[in-house]
Amino acid sequence: MTSQPTLVARGVEKSLALGRETIHILHGVSFELGRGEMVALMGPSGSGKSTLLGIVAGLDRPSAGSIVLDGEEIGNLSENRLADVRARKVGMVFQSYNLIPTLTALENVQLPLHVPGRNGHTPEHARETLAEVGLAHRLMHRPSQLSGGEQQRVAVARALVSDPSMIVADEPTGNLDTETGDALMRLLLDIRARLGTTILVATHNDAVAGRADRVLRLRDGLLIEQ
């Protein structure tokens, strides 16, 4: 069981109907993420990175192909079952942090713990998770009272609080300066080392990708290098 990959994607396609046209975004993407692997996803703007991350994270369904997360096929689950898988197994981090502006750092991190299907943590666990990302002294700050790097750390804590198997990050350093971005990557590597979390990071930044174990390259909806 321990050698079972966290994620196995096979022949993933995504097409969208737009008026009378069909747009083909992903053309049959296959890859695996081993447990505790940190993998970078690179590729030009429009190549399908965010689309692929959304499918892998269970935010969206593939048009064809298979996504197996921790041994469970999630490509064709109902919306409710998919929401449950997301809550238990996946943490997401976005370029623009996506924190709720009216809530404190602590309340933002507590949010996933209110979702049914969570892993049985008390709200206190949010406090500990914020301490783990170095923000024990910022619990009561709202997003506007935090620096970009601090906001992204809150977002990482929110992704981490339900002990996911996998963190999926879409250009997490895109709004951060080089130094702050590098600190965020060190934090993700530290999380991986301590908890064995599998991490998939879409990025345009070679330095970010350089910290990964492996780089997947998308071009026009196909992987060109693994």
Binding positions for ligand ATP, rule: CB under 6 A: 16, 18, 23, 25, 43, 45-51
Least separation in angstroms between CB 172 and ligand ATP:
12
On whether the CB atoms of residues 103 and 116 are closer than 8 A, the answer is no
Of 25 and 135, nearer to Mg ion (C-beta) is 25
Q: How far is the CB of 19 from ligand ATP (least distance, A)?
A: 10
- Residue whose CB is less far from Mg ion, 49 or 127: 49
Cα–Cα distance list, 75 to 1, 37, 49, 58 (Å): 21, 22, 17, 8
Residue 106, both tokens = 């602590």
Min. distance of Cβ 63 from ligand ATP in angstroms? 12
Binds 205, which of ligand ATP, Mg ion, none (CB < 5 to 8 A, cut-off by type)?
A: none
Q: Which is nearer to ligand ATP, 26 or 133 (CB)?
A: 26
Q: 2 is in the binding site of which of Mg ion, ligand ATP, none (Cβ under 5 to 8 A by kind)?
A: none
Query: At its nearest, how many Å lie between Mg ion and the CB of residue 95?
Result: 8
Note whether 155 and 93 are within 8 A (CB).
yes
Query: Given the complex with ligand ATP, which of 50 and 110 has the nearer CB atom?
Result: 50
**Closest separation between CB of residue 43 and ligand ATP, Å?**
6
**Region 12-51 residues binding Mg ion, contact defined as CB under 5 A:** 49-50
State which residue, 45 or 144, has the beta carbon closest to ligand ATP: 45
The answer to whether 127 and 106 have CB atoms below 8 angstroms apart is: yes
46, interface contact from ligand ATP, Mg ion, none, CB < 5-8 Å by kind: ligand ATP
String marking each residue 44-63 x if it binds Mg ion according to CB under 5 A: -----xx-------------
Least Å from the CB of residue 49 to Mg ion: 5
Query: Nearest Cα to 7, choosing from 64, 78, 79, 75?
Result: 75
- Residue 196: CB atoms within 10 A of its CB come to 13
Chain positions contacting Mg ion, by CB under 5 A: 49-50
